[in-house]
Amino acid sequence: MDFFEAVETRRSIKHYDTDAIMPQATFIKMMDAVMLSPTSYNIQHWRFIRVTDCNLRQDIQQAAWGQTQVVDASELVIICADMAAWQDRPERYWANADEDTRNVLVPMIEDFYAGKQQLQRDEAMRSCGMAAQTMMLSAKSLGYDSGAMIGFDSDEVARLIKLPEGHVIAMMVTIGKAIAPAKPRGGQLTRDETLKTNQF
């Protein structure tokens, strides 16, 4: 599928074909694309929980106030982030770079993030957002529909997936084959309302 067609036709889907299965090779192809998403200083904060256990899916559905797409979609991926990834062996984020580059960038990571908890969280969320968009566009390009979800009890989902301390859930993404189209777009702002040049 053409990239711009994928962008235009990707919609948030709520109702999925419960018999549709995403082949493992297709899932891996999608995730390989997701892993190329950009992150600040190449920290790769994101951690992905692929929920395949039916009972766990039902528990998560309850934490998502009964939303059926949690159990009906072919795939449920919970996108999380390690907010302390910046200090977890940061040299590995630049292991393939030349020594001069490593010697400059690795110390910069600590200087940039140390003691700045809000920045750590903001950066983690930005990284997860970019990964989620890559995931949904990759899914669409591979012939699958998707939907990003924030409508759930984060604390309860964190408990269910045993989210480690220092991590945060950004969103869940459902992926599968739609059985009902999304409703018409609710109302797009115009380009003139959102795009400015040089100053606000």
- Rounded distance, CA 96 to CA 45, Å? 18
Burial 54-82 (b: 16+ CB within 10 A, else e): eeebebbbebbeebebbbbbbbbbbbbbb
Q: What is the pLDDT of residue 182?
A: 87
- Rounded distance, CA 76 to CA 99, Å? 40
Cβ(81)–Cβ(125) below 8 Å: yes
pLDDT reading at 181 higher than 90: no
Q: What is the pTM of this model?
A: 0.95
Domain ranges of the chain: 3-181
Q: At what angle do helices 24-34 and 117-141 cross, to 10 degrees?
A: 140
pLDDT tens-digit readout, 35-60: 999 999 999 999 999 999 999 999 99
Mean residue pLDDT of the chain comes to: 96
Question: Across residues 177-183, what is the average pLDDT?
Answer: 92
Q: Please identify, in words, the CATH class of the domain defined by 3-181.
A: alpha beta
Confidence of residue 123 (pLDDT cuts 50, 70, 90): very high
Question: Across residues 126-131, what is the average pLDDT?
Answer: 97
pLDDT reading at 152 higher than 90: yes
